[in-house]
Amino acid sequence: MRLSALLLAAFSLFAITGTVLARSAPLVDPDPIAIPAGLTQEQVAKDIKRALIARGWSVTSEQPGQIDSTLHLRTHTARIQATYDDKQVRLAYVSSEELGYKEKNGKRSIHPNYLGWVGFLVNDINTNFKVSESGG
């Protein structure tokens, strides 16, 4: 009986610790998104904003070559900056609330949902570029 209680306690501790660790992932900004030749800066900005808005992000600031955006989802807030030129778009983490952002020894971590949200944006921006490139 003592052994089973000890095993149960050890398993519970492992399960709790594993859950806590799983709620944090390395924060690495996504690779640059290539812009197809022939798209204008106006079309690039439009395609980026279309992807952001479709995923629930709000455009909070815009100037040539840069779009700042915020996502409010339940109690979570994430802010990113999209910068672009003639060749590529870069999405970069700016700040967040309630996403467990931490930086330790130069390594950043955040709730894994953030990485999914940004990954969806990358896919959507690529799709929008392909549609624009084909004249759609």
What is the per-residue pLDDT across 61-92, written as a single tens digit (0 to 9) for each?
999 999 999 999 999 999 999 999 999 999 99
Burial of 12 (0-12, 13-18, 19+ CB in 10 A): exposed
In this structure, which topology does domain 25-133 adopt according to CATH? TATA-Binding Protein (3.30.310)
- The predicted pLDDT at position 21 comes to 46
What is the per-residue pLDDT across 8-64, written as a single tens digit (0 to 9) for each?
444 444 444 444 445 899 999 999 999 999 999 999 999 999 999 999 999 999 999
Q: Which two tokens stand for residue 28?
A: 């690495």
